Amino acid sequence: MHVLVTGGAGFIGSHVVSALLDAGHEVRVLDALLPEVHGSGWPSSLDERAQRVHADVRSPDAVEQALDGINAVCHQAAMVGLGVDLQDLPLYVGHNDLGTAVLLAAMERAGIGRLVLASSMVVYGEGRYTCTEHGLVRPGPRDEKRLRAGGFEPPCPVCDRPLDPGTVPEDAPLDPRNVYAASKTAQEHLASSWARASGGTAVALRYHNVYGPHMPKDTPYAGVASLFRSALQRGEAPRVFEDGGQRRDFVHVRDVAQANLLAHSAGTPGTLTAYNVASGTPHTVGDLARELAAACHGPEPVVTGQYRLGDVRHVVASAERARDELGFTAQISFQDGVREFATAPLRG
């Protein structure tokens, strides 16, 4: 199979490229090499066996040329992270949604019928919660007055009682709660429309908190693991927002790359199928900060009580569908992955 990987020079994309090449596929990478992500030029972490096209996925001509001879597309190109503020809206919509639309239109013209889309757990918004009185409920928007007072746990929207967080299955309602989440949800809708209209097969991989070698550092769009690691590298204590009790599923990037490899053989023509890509074992943000500080022999984390309205409190995946249908089970434990990450190279 000859696969085009958009955003293949990026953190996750470069690992996906290596996994595909190691499995015997031919790979072409299309990447805009945005300077705020890559500095200057192609990163050294990108596998030398891959063909390289320096172009923007929003350019119809460039995408059409990059698709020549391609059998399947692995769409990783995107602006990532929560965003700084609402002024990021045009960037996210342009890179993520317009870029996806241009790619899908070009795939239809070229007769390419297989897409693997990098989606995200952010499409769920807050995770899955149960109230002892009202059963399964969806918390409302975060209340800033409550957050300022240290009330980080979302209450029942009906009776205001505490909720029990659970695991989120793929058929949970989508509820994007920030700019990035809205753009990723739109990507899924576009891919679903393309699959129905073209008869193509679309698989959306909803990544949970991905970490590992070659994460970008020192950028407001970086993931929390990278921010903690960068602080420790500077000799500073990791700064943990809220009370550190936010539950997440941290999944290693090499496991994510394997999920992408498996996804190229999955799905049903004419539909989009979504899979959570997660370790299946939740940890708190505080757990990550403490484990990483210990592995780096650095200072203990500082819990700041700070918060961001666009964040969610808990979101933890159900990994059953990916296990049963993709045959995907994460292989790298949280402890082993964090120990490796403590000394792994980051992107400057």
- The Cβ of residue 136 has, within 10 Å, a number of other Cβ atoms equal to 11
Please state the φ and ψ torsions of residue 261, each to the nearest 5 degrees.
Answer: -60, -45
Q: Distance between the two ends of the chain, CA-based, in angstroms?
A: 33
**DSSP strands (E only) in 61-113:** 72-75
47 three-state secondary structure: coil
- Residue 83 is predicted with a pLDDT of 63
pLDDT tens, 13-66? Answer: 999 999 999 999 999 999 999 877 766 789 999 999 999 999 999 999 999 999
Q: How far apart are CA 162 and CA 291, in angstroms?
A: 28
- Residue 79 is predicted with a pLDDT of 86
- Residue 325 is predicted with a pLDDT of 97
User: HSE of 337 in the Cβ direction (CA atoms, 13 Å)?
Assistant: 22
- Residue 348 is predicted with a pLDDT of 66
Q: Are 275 and 319 in contact (CB under 8 A)?
A: no
Q: How far apart are CA 117 and CA 7, in angstroms?
A: 11
Sequence-distant (6+) residues with CB within 8 A of 119 are 184, 187, 188, 204, 205, 206, 207, 274
- Residue 20 is predicted with a pLDDT of 98
Q: What is the pTM of this model?
A: 0.95
What are the Cα distances from residue 318, in Å, to 94, 208, 262? 31, 11, 18
Tell me whether residue 334 is exposed, middle or buried, using C-beta atoms within 10 angstroms of its C-beta: 0 to 12, 13 to 18, 19 or more: buried
Two tokens at 104? Answer: 């899908």
- Residue 41 is predicted with a pLDDT of 85
Sequence-distant (6+) residues with CB within 8 A of 72 are 1, 2, 3, 4, 112, 114, 115, 116, 264
Residues of the chain with pLDDT under 50: none
Two tokens at 213? Answer: 């070698």
